[in-house]
């Protein structure tokens, strides 16, 4: 919220409501959604595959699914340690996004 909106919309609690909802739902869609189980399985499988080749922390694999209209986005984010040789040329981080139906 900028100064302008603070001055002109002192009573605009709707903006606060919208922001809070957006943040909350982004989390709930992953954790309580029907996809929670699927996301967990995907995370475990991806972790196992990556671990065959690289040593990574189990926490380094982040999988999330977000709904947006008729599209569901599957986001996979894997953080690789900097000293990991095969990944040394990367900036230590690789991310990929894939869209599904």
Partner 1 sequence: MADGKVIVVTSGKGGVGKTTSSAAIAAALAQGGDRVCAVDFDVGLRNLDLIMGAERRVVFDLVNVVRGEASITQALVRDKRVESLFLLPASQTRDKDALTEEGVGSVIRELRMSFDWIVCDSPAGIERGATLAMKFADEAIIVSNPEVSSVRDCDRIIGLLDAKTVQAESGKRMPKHLLITRFDAERAKKGEMLSVDDVVDILSIPLLGVVPESKEVLKASNVGMPVTLSSEGSAPAKAYAEATRRLRGEDLPVSLPSDRKGLFGKLFRGRAA
Contact set with partner 1 (CB under 8 A): 9, 11-15, 17-18, 20-22, 24-25, 28-29, 32-35, 67-70, 101
- Residue 44 in tokens: 């475990």
Considering the complex, state which of residue 26 and residue 95 has its C-beta at the smaller distance from partner 1. 26
Shortest Å distance, C-beta 79 to partner 1: 28
Shortest separation between residue 95's beta carbon and partner 1, angstroms: 23
CB 55 within 8 A of CB 65: no
Based on CB atoms, which residue is closest to partner 1, 38 or 88?
38
In sequence order, the β-bridge partners of residue 93 are 79
CA angle 28, 31, 34 (to 5 degrees): 95
Q: Choose between 15 and 82: whose C-beta lies nearer to partner 1.
A: 15
- Triad 92, 29, 99: Cα angle to 5°: 55
């Amino acid at each position: 919220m900028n100064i302008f909106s603070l001055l002109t919309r002192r009573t605009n609690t709707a903006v606060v409501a919208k922001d809070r909802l957006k943040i909350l739902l982004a989390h709930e869609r992953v954790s309580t959604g029907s996809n929670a189980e699927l996301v967990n399985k995907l995370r475990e499988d991806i972790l196992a595959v990556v671990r065959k080749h690289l040593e990574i922390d189990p926490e380094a694999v982040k999988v999330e699914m977000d709904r947006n209209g008729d599209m569901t986005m599957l986001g996979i984010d894997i953080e690789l340690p900097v000293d990991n040789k095969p990944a040394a040329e990367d900036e230590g981080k690789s991310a990929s996004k894939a869209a599904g139906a």
